[in-house]
Structures are given as C-alpha cells and as structure tokens.
Amino acid sequence: MIRVNVKETANRILSFEMSGHADFAEHGQDLVCAGASAVSFGAVNAIMELTGIEPEIEQASSGFLKVVFPLDLDEKTDGQVQLLVRAMLVSLKTIEQDYGQYIKITFTA
C-alpha cells in the first residue's frame, strides 16, 4: 500500500511523505503507483519550475519520497506553493477514492 502522510498547520502544508508500493498490479503495469508517482513528482517539478523554490527532497528507489517546504517564503510565493500542493492532494484523493485499498492519505499536525 502507498501511504501518504501530510504534515500541516492550521492553514499551511509543511511537508508530505510517500512510501510503499500499491501492489495493484505487476511492476511496470501498476496504474495506482504510476498515477500517484506522476501526480506527486509532477507537482514537485511544477513547484520548483513555477515558483523558483527548492524544497528539501529525500527519495529512494524503494518508493519513498519526502518533500519539506521552506518556512521563510514571502506571502505570494508561499501562496503559490500551497495552491500547487493542494492541487496535488486533490489528485491523490481522487486516486484514493477509486483505489482506497492501495493508497491511504493521512494528515497530521
């Protein structure tokens, strides 16, 4: 199962972490893994390209991805980052609605 843990304050996403594999299908044919990977990496790439920030990124070939967003952003840039991260979460929640036994999203403070 893919586990997505999102750390947030009252109105700001601080970081997210993805780990595991969906095991929906064989390696190379797993639509859930491919979808979750495309959504998360696409969002991180968009954040970097469109806002110019460099989040702290950790990743491993085991299916692990952790992204921590800087705390010292100006209001406009932070708003852009938050919008893009929330768009990513909408897409991941859509995957979770259809394939909930393969992906689980949790929010922590």
Q: Which residue has the tokens 């972490």?
A: 17
27 is catalytic: no
Catalytic residue among 4, 6, 33, 89: 33
Nearest alpha carbon to residue 35 among 82, 97, 108, 107 = 97
33 is catalytic: yes
Q: What is the DSSP string of 35-73?
A: HHHHHHHHHHHHHHHHH----EEEEETTTEEEEE--S--
| Multiple choice CATH, 2-108, 3.40.50.720, 3.30.2310.20, 1.20.120.140, 3.30.70.1490 | 3.30.70.1490
Catalytic residue among 7, 12, 21, 66: 21
Cα–Cα distance, 109 to 97 (Å, whole number): 23
Tens of pLDDT, residues 23-74? 888 877 889 999 999 999 999 999 999 999 999 999 998 789 999 999 999 9
Q: pTM score, two decimals?
A: 0.92
